[in-house]
């Protein structure tokens, strides 16, 4: 579904990615791990077309999307839950969910408001409340629901549980697990290694803008010393 290879990206003159590679197959849950500032968000922004890479290949469903606009990447079926709970603050819960909703790929089991409310009952109790007045956890659920309403082939979650109370985190992890059960392909960035090991099929570690390790959860355990050196957890 997604194949990134030799990815290089810079902010102005400051190059941050030097050689990132990762692959996500249909229905797979894959993580991108690494310490703060190693290039995970920059990789996501490069995939989404929010940054223009200097070099490398980003193949999504067999087509090169490197250099494509964010709109075009979204239209092809990549949904992003960005860092930092980016709701549309002046819109209500319902308006947030429908604002970018689409079923461009014509899925027969498309996401609907009802299905999102079923997944996140807290949102169903607040449909006419403005997003700015939601708690942090509710805002994050809203952003996740909004991404699902675009019916993405690939869902990318960048630190979706950061800064949330444990009970809300568990709720969000439960939803991600349910999505995995439905065959949703997901790229996860998070610091909660024990949950990621249980949930994900494979993992990639980035260190100073390069993919330096990849493997499944069993390999992550086997190489735990090396892995902990890289991700510092
Ligand atoms: N807009 C920017 N301009 C210049 N440098 C940037 C910019 N955004 C990020 N960087 C730098 O790029 C590097 C990689 O940052 P990035 O946000 O991709 O890291 P990350 O692995 O996602 O870390 P975190 O877990 O802290 O979000 C860091 O050194 C960061 O300071």
Tens-digit pLDDT profile for residues 9-52: 999 999 999 999 999 999 999 999 999 999 999 999 999 999 99
What's the predicted TM-score (pTM) here? 0.94
Atom of ligand 1 nearest to the CA of 38: 21
* Number of domains into which the chain is organized: 1
CA of 185 to the centre of ligand 1 (A): 25
| Nearest-CA residue for atom 28 of ligand 1 | 37
Q: Quick one: tokens of 109?
A: 């089991």
Q: Give the Cα separation of 124 and 141 in Å (integer).
A: 11
- Interface predicted TM-score (ipTM): 0.94
- Sorting pLDDT into bands at 50, 70 and 90, what band is 163? confident
pLDDT at residue 202 in the model: 97
Give the pocket of ligand 1 (CB within 6 Å).
11, 14, 16, 34, 36-42
User: Which of 37, 84, 157, 161 has the most ligand 1 atoms within 8 A of CB, as the residue to mutate?
Assistant: 37
pLDDT at 13: 94
We report the CATH number of the domain holding residue 82 as 3.40.50.300
Centroid of ligand 1 to alpha carbon of 231 (angstroms): 15
- Supply the range of the domain harboring residue 105: 2-231
The best mutation among 7, 8, 16 to test binding of ligand 1, ranked by most ligand atoms within 8 Å of the C-beta, falls on 16
Q: Which two tokens stand for residue 100?
A: 């970018």
Q: Whose CA is nearest to atom 13 of ligand 1?
A: 37
> Is 64 strand, coil or helix?
strand
Query: Residue of the nearest CA to atom 3 in ligand 1?
Result: 11
Alpha carbon distances (Å) from 29 to 34, 56, 64, 106, 214: 17, 23, 21, 23, 13
- Which pairs with CB-CB distance under 8 Å and at least 24 residues apart come from 15-18? 15/54, 15/209, 16/42, 16/209, 17/42, 17/43, 17/46, 17/53, 17/209, 17/210, 18/208, 18/209, 18/210
pLDDT tens-digit readout, 167-195: 989 989 999 999 999 999 999 999 899 99
Q: To test ligand 1's pocket by mutation, which of 17, 40, 189, 193 has the most ligand atoms within 8 angstroms of CB?
A: 40
Residue minimizing CA distance to atom 6 of ligand 1? 11
Strands 185-189 and 154-158: parallel
Tell me which residue has its CA closest to atom 19 in ligand 1. 37
Structure confidence at residue 104 (pLDDT): 82
Testing ligand 1's pocket by substitution, the residue of 18, 20, 38 carrying the most ligand atoms inside 8 A of its CB is 38
- CA dist 164 and 158 (Å) reads 14
């Amino acid at each position: 579904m997604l194949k990134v290879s030799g990815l290089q990206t810079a902010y102005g003159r400051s190059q941050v990615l030097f050689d990132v590679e990762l692959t996500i197959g249909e229905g797979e849950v894959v993580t991108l791990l690494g310490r703060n500032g190693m290039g995970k968000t920059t990789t996501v922004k490069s995939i989404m077309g929010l940054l223009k890479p200097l070099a490398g290949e980003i193949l999504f469903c067999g087509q090169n999307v490197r250099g494509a606009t964010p709109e075009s990447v979204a239209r092809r079926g990549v949904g992003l839950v960005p860092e930092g709970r980016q709701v549309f603050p002046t819109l209500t819960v319902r308006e947030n969910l429908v604002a970018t909703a689409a079923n461009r790929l014509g899925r027969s089991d498309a996401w609907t408001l009802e299905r999102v409310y079923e997944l996140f009952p807290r949102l169903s109790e607040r449909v006419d409340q403005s997003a700015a007045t939601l708690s942090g956890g509710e805002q994050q659920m809203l952003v996740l629901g909004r991404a699902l309403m675009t019916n993405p082939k690939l869902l990318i979650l960048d630190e979706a549980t950061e800064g949330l109370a444990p009970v809300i985190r568990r709720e969000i992890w439960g939803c991600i697990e349910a999505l995995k059960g439905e065959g949703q392909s997901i790229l996860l960035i998070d610091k909660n290694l024990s949950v990621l090991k249980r949930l994900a099929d494979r993992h990639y570690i980035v260190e100073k803008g390069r993919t330096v390790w990849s493997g499944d959860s069993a390999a992550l355990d086997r190489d735990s010393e090396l892995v902990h050196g890289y991700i510092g957890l």
